[in-house]
Amino acid sequence: MTSIVIPAHNEARVIGRLLDSLLADCPGADSSGAETDIVVVCNGCTDDTARIAAARGPRVRVVEIPVPSKHVALRTGDDHARGFPRLYVDADVVLTSAGARALAEPLYDDTAGVLATAPERRIPLAGCAWRVRAYYRVWQRLPAVREGLFGRGVIAVSQAGHARIAALPPLMADDLAASLAFAPAERRVVGAARVVIHPPRTWRDLVKRRIRAAISTAQVEQRQGPHGASARTSKADLLAVLRGEPKLLPGVVVFVAAAVAARRGAQQAIRERDFGTWLRDESSRQT
């Protein structure tokens, strides 16, 4: 049985679109003949997230906890999930049941050595400010972004892969830490699965999201020490993008501007080791 765990904190505006997508074409069973198990963990919600999720019927189990913590929500989801492979899906993305099945498929084969999978991204940029569009055109071409499992809002693991990430400490960049926990041969981006990632629509919200990324990356690096793996963007990465597509020069300028703004905005939190303040982007949750 494939289990899908969805942590949700005040996601009333978007939880319905994800659940409707997961349930729309789902026959109720995966390729092994077992039903798909969906658990929504409403953590510290003060809106209608739980009611909206529960309204999707008995295929969706809703668990409510009082503490607004994604890490606690994920572990609570593990306590209630019934099987493997197991998918962890952010409430503000859109994934189909066919995509979920495609992610689970490689994880059934214990001999392949694949412990974790993630989908290809689709980032709809219509309606976003021009600087946001320019930023993502560059970001999506970076090697670490193309190859890593982070920044997709979805990660699927086998039982052995789950044991690897369950040992991780609470981290703001849980998806980055999970991606780095697997060697390249142990993780796979599945082309047959696509997730819709709704980007920030304004420059201000983009910078807010990048500040959060800078803080969370610093936390991961502090945990790993100087010899740990990294997903940071280097000058060489940006130069390689420009060599391949010189027309992206304005986008690279915007990318660097966002990185500088994020670094400045993150300085105090990193200095004070404040890794608990979640800078939430609300513009991507507009429906």
Q: 222 pLDDT band (50/70/90 cuts)?
A: confident
pTM comes to 0.88
SS (H, E, C) 150-181: CCCCEEEECHHHHHHHHCCCCCCCHHHHHHHC
The span from the CA of 268 to the CA of 11, in Å, is 29
Check whether 31 has a pLDDT greater than 80.
no
Provide the β-strand partners of residue 3.
37, 86
Q: 30 pLDDT band (50/70/90 cuts)?
A: very low
Check whether 220 has a pLDDT greater than 70.
yes
Residue range 193-211: mean pLDDT, rounded: 95
Residue range 204-209: mean pLDDT, rounded: 94
In what helix (H) or strand (E) does residue 42 lie, and over which residues does it extend? strand 37-43
Domains delineated in the chain: 3-128+149-201 (3.90.550.10), 204-285 (no CATH)
In the chain, pLDDT over 70 holds for what percent of residues? 89
Check whether 273 has a pLDDT greater than 90.
no
Q: 226 pLDDT band (50/70/90 cuts)?
A: low
**Of 271 and 237, which is predicted with more confidence?**
237
**Per-residue pLDDT at 277:** 64
Least confident of 80-94, 104-118, 168-182: 168-182
* CB-CB contact of 54 with 60 (8 Å): yes
Check whether 105 has a pLDDT greater than 70.
yes
